[in-house]
Structure 1
């Protein structure tokens, strides 16, 4: 089916998180370009540079919060 001339391409998340979490998460990671999913190996994820930086920052914030609350 051909697109209408004024119809914008779908750029958002099209899968409902509540209906299919796995498909929603995969679409999120793909569209945000956080991981390279060309390699179809279960459990094998190649994170892109900005995703790795973000993950490190999240771990650091979590560690700081846990230490602040007295967790070892």
Structure 2
């Protein structure tokens, strides 16, 4: 499990970048679905949630990768 996480956070190969982008997209789409189907926000807000979540996740994953590099 630890090797997989290190690969996911540190590798800059095509496969790792694609995996990170897909993971961000899934989390963003899930957040948008929760806001839309939960009636939490109007429809236009739900459309904007996915890219905002993806934009926030990118630096968070970079920070996690730097922290893992410091520990390992």
Higher relative CO (CA 8 A, sep ≥ 6), structure 1 or 2? 2
In the superposition, the TM-score normalised over structure 2's length comes to 0.38
Which of the two has greater helix per residue? 2
Which of the two has greater strand per residue? 1
Larger radius of gyration: 1
